[in-house]
């Protein structure tokens, strides 16, 4: 089977598989429900078009700060869609140069890549970027949709509000809202973008009845949240999660009152101790001051969805356990060395490691130390980072796959273990993204990727596109990818070859089953273990 997978991947690279690209239109001009846009031809031989910086909601500025996204007024004339829109406000310099868009509160823009004729109905893939819900943008170079569009999908990337602009809950905001809810503005932005896709994607040759949402890290958190919220019903039909879930290891989805209390501390810091907090003053504050207050020790707030009774009626874990998530097929997985994210937090020696394990796992510490044994400082580091990856990624993705059975839908589980050439941190968090998008050899790639990397990339991209097309990654040209079952605990491991594995890291992941089976209040953040930041604390 290993050699068969490589041969299939090579065939796709040589053009023996996939779909022949076709033009979105002769001149790149498309009329949307709000106006006309002109895209840019990025592949004349294939007539492939990119439409960048299309607004999908009114700018969330001024009085619209901390409100749900509002409909976009129509514009007159023709709007150029050849430059990315601004990135949503986040930590960092206002502009990094090199073609990276500047930061702005006016950031609700999306981008479309298509090689379809307008009358076609190709499957649509909507990418939700990662960045801990505090950073990132749909315009990052490794999300370029050209290669996936060549394979026959219409590819969309989007921005959504981040940090204090996207996830602030506050009693005053709750009181003014018709739904008596606050805090989920970033989620609502994602829903607004998906609604835009439903209204407009057919004009790009996309099929609004074949929409797949996919994302990595916080983008995968967002995919899981969209599966849980009733407001996204009917807006997508399949889902892909890469290295991220919110079922337990990243702390609970807080109840509204908890998030409001955090928001009150933020607002007091923003206003200053001697000033009364009002919505008018909060909205009049400069964006720089908002970011500073959220980053301060006194006003620090965590960016995460909130159980507000409207966007989220309950935690994702409770919704999935009850089988109340949207009933769609899922494709899920994680990378071999996700633990490199916690490289600076490993205990220094064997004694410190044992003390940390006892404090963290209590009576289960001996079982943990049997599974993650270490007798030297180097082994401690390796075991700690492996445990971090298993808890915060492996367990999350396997549990997500298991809970998908509650809505009688298939789940396809993967593990990514191909080490990028020259990587000093192994198969690090996010390493798979360029492989999935087919952007290994694009300018600015971080590694000198080889032909073997190209084979792995081509195979992964073909599986992802097949899943977006049919709800299954399987095609007549690829070996079967078995749907996940708890009995066999199977997954497809994308390494130097593609190999099915049964019972993959079963003992280690089962340990965290027991850990998260404890009462919700038995752990620091109220739902499962961890500290709410996704880092195992030494």
Q: Active-site residues: which are they? A: 217, 338, 429
Indicate left, alpha or beta for 314 from its phi (over 0: left) and psi (-120 to 50: alpha).
beta
Tokens of 265: 């501390």
Q: Which DSSP category does 138 fall into?
A: T
Residues 6+ apart with CB under 8 A from 57: 69, 70, 71, 72, 108, 189, 192, 193, 196
Burial of 315-327, coded b for 16+ CB within 10 Å and e otherwise, reads bbbbbbeeebbbe
User: Cβ–Cβ contacts within 10 Å for residue 432, how many?
Assistant: 25
Write the secondary structure of 341-406 as one string of H (helix), E (strand) and C (coil). HHHHHCCCCHHHHHHHHHHHHHHHHHHHHHHCCCCCHHHHHHHHHHHHHHHHHHHHHHHHHHHHHH
DSSP structural state of residue 82: B
Q: Which residues contact residue 87 at a Cβ distance below 8 angstroms, ignoring those fewer than 6 apart?
A: 100, 101, 102, 103, 104, 107, 136, 137, 139, 159
How many H-runs (helices) and E-runs (strands) does the chain carry?
A: 17, 16
């Amino acid at each position: 089977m290993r050699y068969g997978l490589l041969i299939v991947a090579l065939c796709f690279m040589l053009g023996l598989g996939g779909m022949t690209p076709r033009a979105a239109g002769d001149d790149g001009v498309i009329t949307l429900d709000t106006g006309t846009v002109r895209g840019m031809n990025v592949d004349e031989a294939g007539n492939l078009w990119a439409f960048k910086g299309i607004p999908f909601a009114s700018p969330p500025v001024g009085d619209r700060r901390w409100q749900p996204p509002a409909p976009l007024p129509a514009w007159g004339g023709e709007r150029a869609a050849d430059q990315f829109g601004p990135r949503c406000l986040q930590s960092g310099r206002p502009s990094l140069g090199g073609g990276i868009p500047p930061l702005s509160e006016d950031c609700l823009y999306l981008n479309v890549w298509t090689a379809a004729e307008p009358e076609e109905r190709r499957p649509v893939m909507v990418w939700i970027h990662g960045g801990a819900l505090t950073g990132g943008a749909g315009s990052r170079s490794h999300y370029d949709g050209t290669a996936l569009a060549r394979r026959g999908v219409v590819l969309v990337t989007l921005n959504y509000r981040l940090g204090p602009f996207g996830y602030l809950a506050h009693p005053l905001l709750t009181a003014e809202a018709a739904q008596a809810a606050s805090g989920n503005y970033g989620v609502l932005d994602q829903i607004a973008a998906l609604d835009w896709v439903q209204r407009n994607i057919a004009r790009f040759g996309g099929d609004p009845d074949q929409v797949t949402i996919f994302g990595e890290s916080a983008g995968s958190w967002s995919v899981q949240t969209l599966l849980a919220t009733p407001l996204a019903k009917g807006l997508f039909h399949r889902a892909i999660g890469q290295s991220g879930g919110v079922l337990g290891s990243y702390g609970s989805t807080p109840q509204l009152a908890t998030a409001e209390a955090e928001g009150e501390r933020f607002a007091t810091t923003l206003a200053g101790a001697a000033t009364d907090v009002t919505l008018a003053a909060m909205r009049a504050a400069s964006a720089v001051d908002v970011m500073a207050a959220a980053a301060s020790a006194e006003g620090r707030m965590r960016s995460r969805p909130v159980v507000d009774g409207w966007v989220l009626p309950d935690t994702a874990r409770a919704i999935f356990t009850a089988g109340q998530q949207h009933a769609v097929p899922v494709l899920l997985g994680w990378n071999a060395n996700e633990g490199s994210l916690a490289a600076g937090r490993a205990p220094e020696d064997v004694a410190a490691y044992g003390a940390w394990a006892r404090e963290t796992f209590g009576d289960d510490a001996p079982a943990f130390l049997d599974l993650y044994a270490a007798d030297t400082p180097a082994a401690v580091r390796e075991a700690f980072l492996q445990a971090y990856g298993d808890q915060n990624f492996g367990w999350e993705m396997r549990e997500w796959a298991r809970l998908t059975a509650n809505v009688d839908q298939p789940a396809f589980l993967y593990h990514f273990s191909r080490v990028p050439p020259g990587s000093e941190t192994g198969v690090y968090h996010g390493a798979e993204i360029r492989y999935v998008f087919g952007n290994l050899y694009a300018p600015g790639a971080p590694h000198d990727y080889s032909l073997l990397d190209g084979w792995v990339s081509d195979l992964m991209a073909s599986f992802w596109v097949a899943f977006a097309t049919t709800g299954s990654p399987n095609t007549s040209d690829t070996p079967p990818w078995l749907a996940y079952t708890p009995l066999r605990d199977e997954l497809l491991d994308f390494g130097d070859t593609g190999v099915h594995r049964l019972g993959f890291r079963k003992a280690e992941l089962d340990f965290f089953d027991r850990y998260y089976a404890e009462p919700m209040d038995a752990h620091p953040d109220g739902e499962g273990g961890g500290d709410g930041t996704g880092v195992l604390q030494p």
